[in-house]
Amino acid sequence: MPDYTGYFGTYTVAQDRQVIGHHIEAASEPGLVGTTQERQYSLVEGKLTLSASFEGSAYLLVWSRERR
């Protein structure tokens, strides 16, 4: 597995399940193209957290909004 994976596409949000679906249009991993990757999310105090499990590993990505 590479050190990173990049992709882009559109997304949908299922608020009732707290899930974001990433609809992959192009990716560094060709097998992802055309798939939808679901990520659990939370948005608390300006921090968006995405989490997923893949092949026995857990991944967590956190974005925070800088207030000026």
Phi and psi (nearest 5°) for 27? -160, 160
Instruction: Give CA–CA dist 51/26, Å, rounded.
Output: 21
**25-68 pLDDT, tens digit each:** 999 999 999 999 999 999 998 899 999 988 888 989 999 987 77
Please enumerate, as own/partner, the contacts of 46-52 that have beta carbons within 8 Å and a separation of 24 or more: 50/20
Please say if the pLDDT value at position 1 is more than 60: no
Q: What is the pLDDT of residue 66?
A: 78
Instruction: Give CA–CA dist 45/9, Å, rounded.
Output: 26
Return the closest-CA partner of residue 40 out of 31, 32, 49. Answer: 49
Q: What is the pLDDT of residue 68?
A: 77
pTM summary value: 0.79
Q: What are the residue boundaries of the structural domains of the chain, listed by start?
A: 7-64
